[in-house]
Structure 1
Amino acid sequence: MSVHELSSRVENDKVLVLERTFDAPRDLVFKMFKDPEHLKHWWGPRGWELPVCNVDFRPGGVWHYCMKCVDQNQGDFYGMEAWGKAVYKEIIEPEMIAYTDYFSDAEGNINDSMPPSENTLEFIDLDGKTKLINRSEYVSEGDLKTVMDMGMLQGITETWDRLEERLNEVK
C-alpha cells in the first residue's frame, strides 16, 4: 500500500490546512478520533505516549490528555509531559468534529501563554477511503508561527503516520 502524503497550506496567514487520504472506511477513521482506546495508540509524534486520555465526546464535552516523551533518543524532550485540552463545539458523526484546542496543565487549567486554535476535522468518504481535512485557525499570524516554530508540522505528520499504522492494524 502506498503511503498517502500529508499536504499542508496556510490560508489568510493564520489558518493551517492539513489534508491526507487514509485507506480505510470513514466510520473507522472517525472512530479513531472518538474512542480513547484508539487515541492512546496513535495520538502524538513518534516516541510519545498518551498516559492520560479522558474523552467526553459530545458538544460541550472535554478531551483532556497528556503526551509524554518515552524515547531516550529525543534528548531534552525525554520524560517531558505536554498536556492538552480540547472542548468540543460541534460533532456530526461520521462527517465532522469541531473543537477548540488549548494547551493546559494536569488539572485541565488552560495555559494562557500558549496560543489556542479553532479546529475543524472533516471526514470525506471516497469509495472506502477517507479524505481527512483538518483546519486549525489561530487568533493571529504570530500565534500560528509560534506553533510552527515548535515543530508542529513534523509532529502532526508523525501523528498521522501513526494513525495510518493504527488503521492498518484494526481494519
Structure 2
Amino acid sequence: MSKATKSIRTQVEGRDLIMERIFDAPRELVFKAYSEADHLARWWGPQGWETTIQRFDFTPGGEWRYCMKCVDKNQEDFFGHESCGLAVYQEITSPEKIVYTDSFTDQEGNKLDGMPEMLISMEFVDHEGKTKLVTRTQFATEEVLKQIMDMGVVEGTSSQFEKLDAHLKQIQS
C-alpha cells in the first residue's frame, strides 16, 4: 500500500510505516534541525502546536523529552490538549542517520500504559542538491500500526514537515 499527500510519500510494509519527503536544503542543515534542541523547538509538532523541550541529550543512549500543546483555537477539540513524548537515541551518524525509540509519556516523562513504543530510523539522503528524508517507523504489530495511522500520524507528520520546511527556508535566507 502506498499513498502520497501534498508533500509526503507513505508506504506500509508489514508493521513498518515508511514516510519520505524532499526538503530544499542541504543534508547537513536538515540533520541540524533534528540534532539541536533550539531548532527542534521551533518546528516540531503539527501546525498550531508549540513544543517545549524538557531534556535533550543528542548522544547514543541520550534522551529527548518534550511536550507539545495545541495553541490553535481553530482546532476546537484539540485546543489546549497536550501530548508528551520520550525519545531515546540508539544510533547517530552525522549527517546521515538517526535511530531512536519513541514513546508517549505524561508530563513527568513516565511512559503511558497502552500506548505503543516505536522504533524510528531516519535517513538523510543527498538528492540533487536537496535532502530526501526517509523515516521508517516500526511498530510491535500491524494492528498497532493501523491504530496509530487511524490516529492521524501521516497527516500530523505531513503538517510537521511543512513547519520544518518553513523553518529551513527561514534559516537559509
Query: Which TM-score band applies after superposition, normalised by the shorter structure?
Result: over 0.9
1:18 partnered with 2:19: yes
Give the superposition deviation at 1:29.
Answer: 0.2
CA contact (8 A) 1:40 1:53 kept: no
Residue 127 of structure 1 deviates from its aligned partner by 3.8
Q: Offset of 1:51 from its aligned partner?
A: 2.5
SS where residue 37 of structure 1 aligns?
helix
Match of 2:11 in 1: 9
Shift of residue 142, structure 1, vs aligned partner: 1.1
| Partner SS state of residue 74, structure 2 | helix
Give 3-state SS (helix, strand or coil) of 2:140's partner. Answer: coil
TM-score by length of 2: 0.93
Give CA-to-partner distance per residue, 1:19-65, whole Å, 9 cap, x none: 01111000000000011111111111111001334210000000100
Write the mapping of 1:76-87 to structure 2, written as runs, cut at 5 A: 76-87=77-88
Give 2:129's aligned residue. 128
Unpaired runs of 5+ residues, structure 2, are: 1-5
Structure 1 position 72 matched with structure 2 position 67 = no
> How many angstroms does 1:92 deviate by?
0.3
Deviation at 1:5, TM superposition (A): 2.3
Partner of 1:54: 55
Q: Secondary structure at the match of 1:58?
A: coil
TM-score calculated relative to the size of structure 1: 0.94
Alpha-carbon separation, structure 2, partners of 1:82 and 1:5? 24
Distance in structure 2 (CA, Å) of the matches to 1:157 and 1:126: 19
C-alpha distance in structure 2 between counterparts of 1:51 and 1:142, whole Å = 31
Amino acid across the alignment from 1:169: Q
2:96 maps to 1:95: yes
Sequence identity percentage:
49
Question: Is it true that 1:104 corresponds to 2:105 in the alignment?
Answer: yes
Distance 2:53 2:98 in 1: 21
Letter in 1 for 2:8: L
Q: How many residues align structurally? A: 167
CA contact (8 A) 2:53 2:64 kept: no
For structure 1, which segment, 89-98 or 121-130, has the greater mean C-alpha deviation from structure 2 after superposition? 121-130
